[in-house]
Amino acid sequence: MKLRLHQFLSKCGAFSSKKDVKQAIWSGDITVNGNIVKHIAFEFNPAKRTVMYRGTELNLPETNVYFLLNKPVGCICSRLNSQESELEKQSVYELFRDSVSASVYESLVTVGRLDEDTTGFLLVTSDGDLVNRITKPEKRVDKSYRVESLDLISEDQLISLRKGVEIVVKDHGSTETYHTLPATVELEHEYCAIVTINEGKKRQIRRMFTSIGNEVKHLHRLSTEGMILEDYNLQPSEFCSISLEEIERLVFRS
């Protein structure tokens, strides 16, 4: 698996901040297979190349970690940039800062993303291979959500969601159109449905409801395949450590 140089250095635990990582690269203190590399985005396979910092070999942590988080509202699933910090945005990664080592903290990634206002089931790990196994579109991993809508969910809207709907995304002057795969939809009551999809496009559930003439009032992810958030008794912002074996058994069940 290829990593960008700055990602590798952040994960290896030798630097206390992203600023230190960038400075080491720009100063020419990092070599890859004996060659000085000053490009932050340089990509390479850590299993096949040797990285040195001022004569010391750097390696990724050998043991991966796995967490299940009950994501709270108001958190984004990315590291904060300077603009987001100025706006006092909150990141899910900050929830882990005081509970794990610096090297583990820097190595964490979310398995997919939930938008700022979406709550619920979120896996967080240092295992990049697991992220790819779950999030690649061809894997067709089921994810279930409780969707509370602004307006009553009609029978026609249910039928449309179950058949698949057309999504039109306009962004920076360009337009993308795609058709969603059929979703499994069960109505809890007139304004709430349990929706299961096996795609993972950006803001997909919200855009699906917009396309049928409704709007999402609140969105909560319940589960990924057979791994159900409710079974772990986690309050919003709480997380627990889980094993890869448990993920294999519940998410990749045959």
Give the residue from 123, 157, 144, 159 showing the smallest Cα distance to 197.
144
Q: Which residue matches tokens 């070999």?
A: 57
Give the residue from 221, 230, 226 showing the smallest Cα distance to 72.
221
Task: Output the pLDDT for position 60.
Answer: 78
Do 77 and 203 have their domain in common?
no
Pairing of strands 75-76, 90-91: parallel
CA distance to 110, 171, 177, 180, 204, per residue, from 174 (Å):
28, 5, 10, 19, 18
Q: For residues 184 and 107, give the distance between their C-alpha atoms in angstroms, rounded to a whole number.
A: 35
Q: For residues 161 and 185, give the distance between their C-alpha atoms in angstroms, rounded to a whole number.
A: 7
- Specify the 3-state DSSP secondary structure of 123: strand
Do 131 and 146 have their domain in common?
no
Six-digit token pair at 94? 């900050």
Mean pLDDT of 194-204: 93
Burial of 15 (0-12, 13-18, 19+ CB in 10 A): buried
The answer to whether the CB of 150 falls within 8 A of the CB of 212 is no
Task: Output the pLDDT for position 104.
Answer: 83
- Domain of residue 35: give its range: 3-58
Do 116 and 159 have their domain in common?
no
Catalytic residue among 20, 115, 117, 151: 115
* 188, pLDDT greater than 60: yes
Do 129 and 187 have their domain in common?
no
User: Across the strands, what pairs with 125?
Assistant: 66, 109
What is the tally of structural domains in the chain?
Answer: 3
Do 97 and 111 have their domain in common?
yes
User: What is the 8-class DSSP label of residue 235?
Assistant: P
Give the residue from 65, 42, 43, 53 showing the smallest Cα distance to 20.
53
Residue 115 annotated as catalytic: yes
Do 51 and 95 have their domain in common?
no
Q: For residues 11 and 103, give the distance between their C-alpha atoms in angstroms, rounded to a whole number.
A: 6
The answer to whether the CB of 61 falls within 8 A of the CB of 11 is yes
* 145, pLDDT greater than 80: yes
Task: Output the pLDDT for position 83.
Answer: 86
Task: Output the pLDDT for position 254.
Answer: 56
3 band by pLDDT with thresholds 50, 70 and 90:
confident
Task: Output the pLDDT for position 163.
Answer: 97
For residue 192, the domain's CATH number is: 3.30.70.1560
